[in-house]
Structure formats: C-alpha cells, structure tokens
Amino acid sequence: MSTQTKSPGISLDYVKTIGIVNNGFNGRGFANPYDIIADDDGQIFVLNRCDPARASAIRIGICNLDDEYLGEFGRGNGSGDGQFNWAVAMALDSQGNLHITDEYNHRVTTYTTAGEYVSHWGTPGSEDGELNGPAGIAFDSADNLFVVDQHNSRVQKFSVDGTFIAKWGSSGSGDGKFNLPWGIAVDSDDNVYVADWRNDRIQKFSNDGKFIAVFGSSGQGEGQFQRPTSITVDLEGFIYVADWGNERVQVLAGDGSFQLLLKGEATLSKWADEYLASNPEEKAERDVSNLTPNLPAHLNTPYHTSSQTEPYFWGPVSLTLDNQGRLYVVETNRHRFQVYQKR
C-alpha cells in the first residue's frame, strides 16, 4: 500500500492523476511543474518551470478536474514584464490575482487568473524589503504577503503591492533560524509555517514572526524529513508536507505528531491514455515494461525506488488544498499531479 495510516484522525483517498509531459512550448501538458493552486471556481493553475532547453516556454497552465486543458499564460524566459527565469511558487490573493516568485530575478510577478500581466516588484539585496532568491509565498486573511527570502535566511512580510512590513529569521539551526528555507503556508489563525529545507524541519511562527514550535528532524522515518519543500494546512489544523528528498508526502497533526504517509498511487491520466491510443507502438512497449520493479538492495533509496516505480511520487515539490478538502501533489519529474480526497 502506498498510503500508510498511523492514526484514524485523517484519511486520504486517491482520486486521479492529471498530466503528461509537454515537449513543446505550449498546449496541453506540463514541463517540470513546480507549483499548483486550485481556485474556488474549479480552475487549477500549474506553474511550469521548464528545463533549460525549453526555458522560453515557462508558463502557467490552466486545467480542471474534468481533464479539460483551459489555456495558459506567461511571457516566457527573461527579465521583462511578465517574464520569469527560475519561477518557484504561487499564491492567490483575495482579489483573484496570482503572485509568482522568481528566485533568479529576485522578484514577485502578478497576473490575474485570466492571464493578464499586472506588475512585478522586488530588488535584489539583503536590506529590508530586498530579496535574494525568493521561494515560497503565501497570504494571510488580511492579504498580507509572506515571502521566503531563501538566501537571506529569513521571511519577509509585505502588503499585497510589495510594500515592506516586517522580517524575521537569520542563518542557523536554532529556533527561528533557517538554512535555505523554501516553502511557506498560513493557517486559518494566520500562523505561519516554513519548510526549513536544509535543516529538514518545519517551523511555526505567529503572524508577527514569534517562534512557536518546530516539527521534524533529518531522516526517513515517520515524522522525519529530507529536504521538505512545500506545506499547506487545512481547516482542522492538519499539516501537509511535501517531503521532497524522501519522495513522499507526510501529514502531521497540529501538534506535529505524525498521522499519515503517502508515496503515490498514480494511474494513467486521460491525457496519457489519449496519447497512447494515437501511438500504438509506444503503447505496445509500455505494455511489456515493468513499471513497478523489485529493485536490488543497493538501489533501494527513495530516489531510485520512485524513479523506477511509476505510481509513486517522483519529485513531489509542491502541494495544495482546494475548498473541497482535495489535496493536489505536483511531481516535477513526471510532469503531472495526483489528487486525493480527505475523508
């Protein structure tokens, strides 16, 4: 089983997989997706970071749970208006605008969900309000924007238009310190959670940056992490973590105790079925392939196991929840996302 439950407090049922690799520069499919957001209208926005060979195709693709590809927007690779170099994460404000971090251009770019470029802001540096490799991004209930300032080892708080409000954090491994922080989330009480990537842990803060708690340690056991990248928190206080280095998702209770582990249960997406129906030679090769092999002991690491086991997560870099309690998990290496329903 790819879902292991320690506590009856929460259960997640696999729903479906959506995605297929897009080797081109537009159209249905994904290319190294890095983040995902589902809005209240049922639109699913997928941030395609793309590999260097297709950097000009960096874009946000739009689809829905009915497997319809609704379109895309973005102006490709660069530093001009509406362009990105190393796009990382997205957040949706109360007015329906998407805010996207770019760790190379050291800025945040804003689009409407209709795909209209609005603005961008950000200046490289280490002073108040300046950014050095912005990564995770999240809004609180008052539309204050929290940005993980990765290489400055801190979190910064801004107004929705990028006006600096506050900051906290410094380099290190103690409480309230960071080592290459990455993901961020805000709960229903406006507390802030940070995926402290290289410290292999999650830290919780008040809305004004006061340290509250730390969860996790380095390792492969339950409640341990290996380079966590993304977090989200549901209305009941359950904490969902993309445990990227361990190729899995973990769910914690509000007190940080381990609850649930997901390794992935992907089935073929509708898009992949349609592709294989049009390419019978590839389907024939697939039908005789072993997609869930038993690996030798020296290859029994999370990376090797996931890279060779098609249903499993491979590169689960980001996750999000929608307003129906569905969990979406993005796999950057398999160019798809898996959907689970909370019971």
Report the percentage of the chain scoring pLDDT > 70: 98
pLDDT tens for 74-96 read 999 999 999 999 999 999 999 99
Tokens found for residue 315: 């590169």
Rounded mean pLDDT of 227-246? 98
The helix or strand, by DSSP H or E, that contains position 275, with its residue range, turns out to be helix 270-278
What's the confidence (pLDDT) of residue 334? 97
Burial of 258-271, coded b for 16+ CB within 10 Å and e otherwise, reads bbbbbbbbbebbbb
Q: What is the mean pLDDT of residues 105-133?
A: 98
Q: What is the mean pLDDT of residues 48-53?
A: 92
For residue 9, the model assigns a pLDDT of: 82
pLDDT (average), residues 298-310: 94
Is residue 168 within 8 A of residue 178, CB to CB? The reply is no
**pLDDT over 90 at 112, yes or no:** yes
Distance CA 84, CA 82 (A): 7
pTM across the whole model: 0.96
CB-CB contact of 269 with 339 (8 Å): no
Closest CA to 152 of 183, 124, 191: 124
**Cα–Cα dist 266/17, whole Å:** 6
pLDDT for res 6 = 56
pLDDT at 107 over 80: yes
Taking the C-alpha atoms of residue 131 and residue 206, their distance in angstroms, rounded to an integer, is 22
Integer Cα distance of 85 and 88 in angstroms: 9
**pLDDT tens profile 257-271:** 999 999 999 999 999
Residue 262 and residue 312: Cα distance in Å, rounded? 9
Phi then psi for 314, rounded to 5 degrees?
Answer: -135, 105
CA distance 220 to 168: 29
